[in-house]
Amino acid sequence: MKESVYEVSSSVETIVSFSQQQVQNIGQTSSQSQEVAAIAEETSVGAEEVNAVIKEQLYLMKEVSNVAKYLAEQAEQLKFTIQRFKL
Q: What is the structure's pLDDT at 36?
A: 96
C-alpha pair distances (Å), 38 with each of 31, 32, 71: 11, 10, 49
Q: 1 in helix, strand or coil?
A: coil
CA atoms of 32 and 60, how far apart (whole Å): 42
Q: In this structure, what DSSP letter does residue 85 have?
A: T
Q: What is the structure's pLDDT at 87?
A: 60
Could you list the pLDDT tens digit for every one of the 87 residues in the chain? 778 778 888 889 999 999 999 999 999 999 999 999 999 999 999 999 999 999 999 999 999 999 999 999 999 999 988 888 876
Q: How far is CA 55 from the centre of its chain?
A: 17
What is 13-27 written as a DSSP string?
HHHHHHHHHHHHHHH
